[in-house]
Amino acid sequence: MHDPLVIAGRTLRSRLLLGTGGFPSLELLAASIAASGSELVTVALRRIDPDAHGSLIEVLDQAGVELLPNTAGCHTARDAILTAKLAREAFDTDWIKLEVIGNEHTLMPDAPELLRAAEQLVDDGFTVLPYTTDDPVLARRLQDVGCAAVMPLGSPIGSGMGLRNPYNIALLRESVSIPVVLDAGIGTASDAALAMELGCDAVMAASAISRAEHPVRMAHALRSAVEAGRLAHSAGRIPRRLYASASTPNEGLPDLS
């Protein structure tokens, strides 16, 4: 089924975005990207290590994926904006996964700083994909300032707790028209499938894959789950009901007394 994801005019066949964080080696990262089918992967910007072995950029170029730089580690709009501008210089892309962290332990976004940074980056010509809470009102505000997509968390980054509030994710989905990418909290395939069944347009996973016992296998599992969830969403599930509803008709039932 031809059912591409379109974000800011860019067409992606895969609805799974991959975070590169946490992979124990670049080889495992490359194999996991291939297994995931992902075409858009995140990278962070950090101080260069001239003695580093292997180049992440080269591995990602060879994989043929598009880069989505992030502003991970930024706690203020100012830092996030500066990091986005540095990423644009480094990677020749105006796409930015905007993260403005408000708490070290939960890694929850700082909503006012996030909105401020998003507005300014949009004005500066960036294609902004903000990592946000599952608050439908904030998502709407992020859309209003011109974000290309929203990336609500299912649960805290790296927690593997899945979607703690599916109801909010469903409300958020209804409250914006831009793509919704469920980001953070994915632990395993069923979490990704649930996100897609709720109407999310894509799922992003990093730790779920990179920290799995078998990352390549989990990359494949999430790919299948995202496809299955998307199909199920478009198929129109049956309503939930409290009591049974027989699927076999009683008509023609023999009298065996």
Partner 1 sequence: MIFLNGQASDTRPGDTIAAALARLGLTVGARGVAIAVDGAVVPRADWPTFELPEHARVEILTAMQGG
Which residues here bind partner 1, judged by CB under 8 A? 19-23, 29, 42-48, 50, 55-57, 60-61, 67-70, 72, 82, 85-87, 89-91, 97, 99, 206
> What residue has token string 């969403």?
233
Cα–Cα distance, 76 to 45 (Å, whole number): 16
Which tokens sit at 204? Answer: 């992003």
Cα–Cα distance, 103 to 237 (Å, whole number): 38
Instruction: For residue 136, give every residue at least 6 positions away whose Cβ sits within 8 Å of its Cβ, in sequence order, or none.
Output: 168, 171, 172, 174, 175, 176
Which tokens sit at 131? Answer: 């990592």
At its nearest, how many Å lie between partner 1 and the CB of residue 246?
A: 49
A 10 A CB-CB count for 255 gives 4
Q: Which is nearer to partner 1, 131 or 233 (CB)?
A: 131
Q: Which is nearer to partner 1, 54 or 112 (CB)?
A: 54
Q: Which is nearer to partner 1, 92 or 251 (CB)?
A: 92
At its nearest, how many Å lie between partner 1 and the CB of residue 204?
A: 8
At its nearest, how many Å lie between partner 1 and the CB of residue 22?
A: 7
Which tokens sit at 229? Answer: 């969830």
At its nearest, how many Å lie between partner 1 and the CB of residue 177?
A: 25
Catalytic residue chosen out of the listed positions 18, 33, 43, 97: 97
Q: Which is nearer to partner 1, 48 or 244 (CB)?
A: 48
85 is catalytic: no
Cα–Cα distance, 189 to 185 (Å, whole number): 12
First-last CA distance in the chain: 50
Residues acting as catalytic residues: 97
